[in-house]
Amino acid sequence: TVAVEAKHAKDLPKLVEVLRSISKADPSIEVTINQETGEHLMSGMGELHLEITEYRIKNEYGVDIVCSEPIVVYRETVGKKSPRSFEGKSPNKHNRFYFEVEPLPKSVVDALYNNEIPQDVKKHKKEVISKLQELGMDKIDAKGVFGIEGLNIVTDVTKGIQHLFETRELLLEAFREVMRKGPRANEPCQGILVRLVDAKLHEDAIHRGPAQVIPAAKNSINGAITTADFMLLEPMQKVFISAPQEVMGNVSRELNQRRAVILDMKTEGDMVSIEAKAPVAEMFGFASAIRSATGGRVLWSTENIGFEPLPRELQDQVTRQIRERKGLKPEPYPPEYYMD
């Protein structure tokens, strides 16, 4: 991902048009606007893909632009079920929500990723329930589902709590806000099942409005995530390389420096084809490095293959870097922060 801005303010309307037409022409380019900073963020398949798109904007469309250094967007998830439900209190202390979280089964995450489960639960409730049960989700959890955000699900397994139904839309809003910005590094969450297990509500509707319910539910969900071995997932790419046998040592060295894992190697005549997987974060500068390592005698390409857990030893360091880049306190907040 890179932030794109027009060099001259007068070109801004044209840049907006150009970005729109580029994302239509090339579905693998995604353009979003950061609501907080107003920046145009352009995401692609990797550094080379973004460089080519940047070149096209400047030369084919004639818009002078300035791009930031590439940014890698991580995901947040949980490694285990939260040890117990986490209490979130509303600012007026009259409402309390108790959420717990756990990892979503891989089969459900895959089905969400492949759009096999409708995102609009209200409209397709029966279809969602039967599909989730088919995929092995517990019957009570599946029946209680009332919201899906990306690759995350929220379910209500409470029984007979007065006035709870009236707050459901507000709970859904709180769930969405946390899933878009997780507690570890304000990155999007994925693969989390959020479960509402209990609630205590004030009988007077005036004391359980949005300003009371949303902060309480967000604190409860955030707190539960921080107690459930919360971690970062990093984006991975498959790397396909074809080069002559005599430069293979240099190619392997280049891959090893980038935390790459070689999955397959085939020899045809004096050419060797390698299939490897590597973290996107380590692939910056790979295009020029592999060319100089092989004297230009290399063909290579990449494809995105989703997210995998960031190695344990890098979790804290990368979390700190992301938080500092976003202007946040370097360390994530502990569970106690969400208790009040």
pLDDT, one tens digit per residue, over 136-183 is 899 999 999 999 999 999 999 999 888 889 999 999 999 999 999 999
Residue found under tokens 């550094």: 47
Whether the predicted pLDDT of 184 surpasses 90: yes
Q: How many CB atoms lie within 10 A of CB 177?
A: 15
**Cβ neighbourhood burial of 74 (10 Å; 0-12, 13-18, 19+):** buried
| Residue 38: predicted pLDDT | 67
Q: pLDDT per residue over 186-243, tens digit each?
A: 999 999 999 999 999 998 988 889 999 999 999 999 999 999 999 999 999 999 999 9
H-type alpha helices, 185-332:
210-226, 248-256, 286-294, 312-325
| Residue 36: predicted pLDDT | 60
Q: pLDDT per residue over 245-262, tens digit each?
A: 999 899 999 999 999 999
| Residue 288: predicted pLDDT | 85
Q: pLDDT per residue over 303-334, tens digit each?
A: 888 899 999 999 999 999 999 888 889 999 99
Element spanning 24, H or E? helix 12-25
Q: What is the rounded CA–CA span in Å between residue 22 and residue 2?
A: 15
- Cα 9 to Cα 17, 62, 154: the distances in Å are 14, 14, 43
Q: What is the rounded CA–CA span in Å between residue 319 and residue 119?
A: 30
Q: How many CB atoms lie within 10 A of CB 51?
A: 15
Whether the predicted pLDDT of 9 surpasses 90: no
**What domains can you pick out in the chain, each with its CATH number?**
2-67 (3.30.70.870), 76-228+332-338 (3.30.230.10), 233-309 (3.30.70.240)
- Out of 8-17, 82-91, 143-152, 249-258, least confident range: 8-17
Whether the predicted pLDDT of 37 surpasses 80: no
Please provide the distance, in angstroms rounded to a whole number, between the alpha carbons at the two ends of the chain: 36
pTM of the model: 0.84
Mean predicted lDDT score pLDDT of the chain:
90
Q: Please, which pLDDT band fits residue 285 given cuts at 50, 70 and 90?
A: confident
Mean pLDDT of 115-141: 92
Measuring CA to CA, which residue among 105, 160, 101, 99 is closest to residue 138? 105
The answer to whether the Cα torsion of 156, 159, 160, 162 is positive or negative is negative
Q: Which residues contact 211 (CB under 8 A, 6 or more apart)?
A: 91
Q: What is the rounded CA–CA span in Å between residue 164 and residue 201?
A: 7
| Residue 193: predicted pLDDT | 96
Measuring CA to CA, which residue among 139, 141, 132 is closest to residue 112? 132
